[in-house]
Structure 1
Amino acid sequence: MTDLSTVLEVGGPVVALGGGAAYARAQHPGVYWSTVGLPLSTVRMLSSYSSVMEACGLTVAPSRLRALAVKAATRREVRPVPPRRGLIRPTSTGLRLRLRLAPGQEPADVAASAERLRHAWGVHAVYVTTVKPGVVELRLVGFDVLRRVRMPRKLTGDFLKVPVAMREDATPFVRDYRTIPHQLTLGATLSGKSMYLRHLITGLARQPVALVGIDCKRGVELAPFAPRLSGLATDPDQAAELLPVLVQAMENRYDLIRARQGIAPGTPNEEITSDIWGLPEKQRPVPIVLFVDEVAELFLVATRKDEERRDEMVTQLIRLAQLGRAAGIYLEVCGQRFGAELGKGATMLRAQLTGRVCHRVNDEASAKMALGDIAPEAVSAACAIAPERPGLAVAGDTSGGWSRIRTPYLSLGDAAEICQETAHLVPDLAALKPFRPDVPAPPVDSPAPVMRPRPVTD
């Protein structure tokens, strides 16, 4: 009986701790990492750093002076020298560590061994970034941050910068319109493309910008955000009327830049290198962000008349993409399918869209259209996105870099409520007033009487 009591007293807490750790690792990976994973990985790294670096081929022969000093002082065998390790900085999702490369090494050598370092130190992933010549930073991620996305609480976006998703290396993905003015976002049904669009709209809704939408699905995607929209077109006919207004607004802004800088009135727009950000704040027009949902609907035609309208709309979109940045007009083009077979101008429009975000698509051709010209290896990553992970996407830009991102969940009701609360920030643009969507007035609840009225009787 005494032995049984001892087993229960000792084994009970051990089983409870083990079960709690397993539950936390499965359901709350952040808590598990902070309490268990972080100490274990730190101990592994400190105890095996030199041997792991040597096994990965990241060591070099010591200098002659160092070899002579070691032999003279300790008479030990001179071992290869690993990169000098900096301070270990723990984070809520992993570890950060800077390495000073040994002579003859380059960042590509460390990046090639990232998978070996991951297994050696028991973490989910290892990412290598260059800080400065001779110094790289290792970002160790303790768990899969894309399984349950949680954006940092203290993260706030600057003007025309919207944090919309989390990267696989546990850094936020920020949509910066000043750096990447135009973007193409693709995704099949239930891929999470609409969730990505909600985060963009709600992030911009809190800023002093004009939001304009073209939603050829009769407005079902963008109509809930009508209180914050300065203009909305719900079919190709309305889009054909809205786009010329935006082109005219762009030309008026170029005239304003000419007048301010003393440029000759006959100078073509393409030769004006400045933008509205060089104007005084009081004269600077408000930026305009145009959201085009289901862009393929603008290309589809059924009659000869529709074909002429299509060509005109596509030409106007291309003009906005080519010249809109300097005028403070930015494009966010979304769709389920995008390819050269849509018609004339599709490839030219795609070439002007610097940013690319590809969710799960139904065919490889769409993934190639989005990412094939900037990062061919990203096409296979986009085609491998599983339907069980909505919101997962591959983001890249024309610089060639790409990464996996995932958008956190945001309900349509919460997004619409944010647009309702920020309706007072809608700028006064006279040209867009005819396209301002009708916003139904909210129902007024009459207060209940404090006392029940009694009928007057004779």
Structure 2
Amino acid sequence: MQRHARKMRRHGLNPVILVNEDAQFPDLVITVIGRALWRYRSELAPLYLTGAVTVSGTVLHVTRPGWWPYLLAGATAVAWLLAVLGERIGLSRRSERTYAATVAVSVGGWLAAATALGVAFQPLPQLLIGGACALAVPWWAHRRRRAKVRVDRQLSAWPQIAQAVGLNGSHVQSAVVDVWGWRARFALARGQTIHDVIAKVPAIESALGTFRGAVRVLPTRDDKANRFELRVLDTDPHADAIPWPGPSVASITEPIDLGPFEDATGARVLLLRRHALIGGVAGSGKSGGINVLMGNLSACQDVVIWAIDLKRGMELQPWAPCIDRLATTPEQARALLREAVTILEARAEWLAAQGRRVWDPTPDLPALVIVVDEYAELAEDAPDAASDTESIARRGRAVAVTLIAATQRPTQKAMGKGAVRSQMDVRVSFRVRERKDVELILGQGMLNAGWHAHTLNAPGKFLLSAPEHDTPRRARAYLLTDDAVNETSSRCAPLRPVLDEVSRRAPDDAHSEPVRAPEETSVPVTAPRDERGDAALRDALKGAPDEGLSIAHLRMLTEMSRPTLYRRLNDLVKAGHAVQVGRGRYKATDHAP
């Protein structure tokens, strides 16, 4: 018999199924039925519960018929707990908690009646069958239950999947179904790390049968090296644009919320004493990300904003009421950066004289943030400004002078031989066209580490790399409409701070482009700058036509920043010396001195 079995194995046959088939057939049937009952345990749960209640009622009626009041009271208590505290055990929706409480009351009530009267007492059998059918329908129709069953079946095949993708020895620890898909916690075999898993994401997507880009690999909350969390999306939570809810900060010392991650947590990043680089191809949503930054910075009363937009202000002009200084030409950009370096050095000298090491931003001592849109244009049109940007990048942290550079492709030529880029602690990458561009924005080795910015498939989606964000998690920037930009800039403009005394008195006249004072001013040019500006404002308002003068015209005549000009105008209006005759247009009153 053994020799015959070996001969059959050599021919590829299984001798077990041919040995004593009649004796093994009943066992085979029982095994198949048992596996089916276990595999479809979720679908058959109402039937299992009905059977368990029937058996329990029969046993209790025979042994403990007097327990029915306790059963009824217990069922009522359980139903109340499920309705009130069900959210803590995963019943997130009110309908789910209501359904669970209804099932508890129904089962407990029937069991109490069966205990007291017997399961055959009319009409208890009819009530049991009818109630089981009625309560089974919501159970079978529930989407999350079906999703949980599907996930359990997928994860039951994980040993085969792990062997196919090269993660032998890894196993599932837990799994949870959420609104967008499911996530599971895995333990890795000895010697395996999360970087090995990240490299195999495409193979895992193929093995699980998901769409491309549906799998995310994240570290666990305890950050253990031999654990990882697998997140699989059924639907994209970032498929639609997300309206901006408004400023998330009131100070530069707080992390700014750029937009939500896929788990609905905010992509918050701290910009104080950090320079930032924002990259992405045209149409990737980079301008929307800059708008989110500008909206939050404008709400901070301890930040002075300077900006460079060499596209003649096309992108940043809507934020002009909140920008203290806006450069739209290469010459203005050079002057702005030279003055920023001068302020940097003046602040450093003041800190040294005070025996302090860092500049702590306050409304009286604000930080200075310089936003440069299309940084590559600056490097091309004003190459002599590279030394100033490098100086700001290297020395600006301690004195709270921050550089935020946005560009489509931060090549070595565009970023000044990499000296500026190497100082950028915060990297925000929107969609890029080529895989190698990922490392231009995010740094060397980031592509192999799973930072796949080239796979971002919608405008506004980005990856955030910062000291507190060291894993590739997709986020989507909030969407600011034109109306939201105008409303925010108008609301925040009167609250904007001005540069501190140290920065204003910095010896910058020799490094910045002089502006000729108006000939009609009543104050000598040698007077302090604030007095010259106030006198020029009064003279300009006196000579204004009936339709008034615009803010742009008044700024040109007075050399004031927008926040300072708004404050002076507000004071004159309150004193009755000036009047607003239209949107952004002012003139003097008859009572003006």
What TM-score results when the alignment is normalised by the length of structure 2? 0.51
Identify the residue that residue 29 of structure 2 maps to in structure 1.
none
Identify the residue that residue 422 of structure 2 maps to in structure 1.
351
Identify the range of structure 1 (163-172 vs 405-414) with the bigger mean alpha-carbon deviation.
Answer: 163-172
Give the secondary-structure state (helix, strand or coil) at the position aligned to 1:214: strand
- Aligned partners of 2:143, 2:369: CA distance in 1, in Å? 43
Contact residue 59 and residue 83 of structure 1 kept, 8 A? no
Give the secondary-structure state (helix, strand or coil) at the position aligned to 2:268: strand
Contact residue 372 and residue 379 of structure 1 kept, 8 A? no
User: Per-residue displacement from partner, 1:298-348 (whole Å, max 9, x unpaired)?
Assistant: 2235xxxxxxx632x2111111111111111211111345434459x3432
CA distance 1:155–1:207, shift in 2 (3 Å): closer
Identify the residue that residue 199 of structure 1 maps to in structure 2.
292
- Aligned partners of 2:223, 2:443: CA distance in 1, in Å? 30
- Aligned partners of 2:417, 2:195: CA distance in 1, in Å? 37
1:276 equivalent in alignment to 2:359: yes
User: Per-residue displacement from partner, 1:24-58 (whole Å, max 9, x unpaired)?
Assistant: xxxxxxx9xx9965433322334554442454246
Decide which of 385, 390, 399 is 2:459's aligned counterpart: 390
Decide which of 91, 111, 116 is 2:204's aligned counterpart: 116
Contact residue 186 and residue 334 of structure 1 kept, 8 A? yes
1:443 equivalent in alignment to 2:582: yes
- Aligned partners of 2:327, 2:177: CA distance in 1, in Å? 49
The structure number with the bigger radius of gyration is: 2
Identify the range of structure 1 (374-383 vs 37-46) with the bigger mean alpha-carbon deviation.
Answer: 374-383
Identify the residue that residue 379 of structure 2 maps to in structure 1.
299
Contact residue 199 and residue 448 of structure 2 kept, 8 A? no
Gaps of 5+ in 1: 1-30, 61-80, 263-273, 302-308, 446-458
- Aligned partners of 1:193, 1:413: CA distance in 2, in Å? 19
Aligned-residue offset at 1:192: 1.9
1:236 equivalent in alignment to 2:236: no
Decide which of 230, 233, 238 is 1:141's aligned counterpart: 233
CA distance 1:404–1:97, shift in 2 (3 Å): closer
Contact residue 227 and residue 419 of structure 1 kept, 8 A? yes
Identify the residue that residue 383 of structure 2 maps to in structure 1.
310
CA distance 1:38–1:216, shift in 2 (3 Å): same
Identify the range of structure 1 (236-245 vs 119-128) with the bigger mean alpha-carbon deviation.
Answer: 119-128
CA distance 1:282–1:355, shift in 2 (3 Å): closer
Contact residue 375 and residue 401 of structure 1 kept, 8 A? no
Identify the residue that residue 392 of structure 2 maps to in structure 1.
320
Aligned-residue offset at 1:214: 1.0
- Aligned partners of 1:420, 1:154: CA distance in 2, in Å? 14
Identify the range of structure 1 (157-166 vs 407-416) with the bigger mean alpha-carbon deviation.
Answer: 157-166
Give the secondary-structure state (helix, strand or coil) at the position aligned to 1:297: helix
Greater per-residue helix proportion: 2
Decide which of 163, 171, 174 is 2:268's aligned counterpart: 174
CA distance 1:316–1:84, shift in 2 (3 Å): same
Aligned-residue offset at 1:373: 3.0
Gaps of 5+ in 2: 1-92, 97-140, 505-529, 531-558, 570-579, 585-593
Contact residue 248 and residue 296 of structure 2 kept, 8 A? no
Number of equivalences? 365
- Aligned partners of 2:189, 2:436: CA distance in 1, in Å? 44
RMSD: 4.3
Contact residue 166 and residue 173 of structure 1 kept, 8 A? yes
| Counterparts of residues 6-405 of structure 1 (less than 5 Å) | 38-46=144-152, 49-53=155-159, 55-57=161-163, 82-85=171-174, 91-99=178-186, 106-108=193-195, 116=204, 120=208, 124-130=214-220, 131-133=222-224, 134-150=226-242, 156=248, 159-167=253-261, 171-178=265-272, 181-208=274-301, 209-261=303-355, 274-277=357-360, 285-301=365-381, 310-311=383-384, 313-342=385-414, 345-360=416-431, 369-371=440-442, 373-377=444-448, 381-383=452-454, 389-396=458-465, 402-405=472-475
Identify the residue that residue 492 of structure 2 maps to in structure 1.
422
Contact residue 344 and residue 399 of structure 2 kept, 8 A? yes
CA distance 1:48–1:351, shift in 2 (3 Å): closer
Contact residue 244 and residue 478 of structure 2 kept, 8 A? no
Contact residue 167 and residue 173 of structure 1 kept, 8 A? yes
Q: Which has the higher contact order (CA 8 A, sep 6+)?
A: 1
Identify the residue that residue 451 of structure 1 maps to in structure 2.
none
User: Per-residue displacement from partner, 1:365-419 (whole Å, max 9, x unpaired)?
Assistant: 8666334635244899445666xx3334454469985455433432123122112
Give the secondary-structure state (helix, strand or coil) at the position aligned to 1:150: coil
- Aligned partners of 1:357, 1:368: CA distance in 2, in Å? 12
Identify the residue that residue 16 of structure 1 maps to in structure 2.
none
Give the secondary-structure state (helix, strand or coil) at the position aligned to 1:354: strand
Give the secondary-structure state (helix, strand or coil) at the position aligned to 1:245: helix
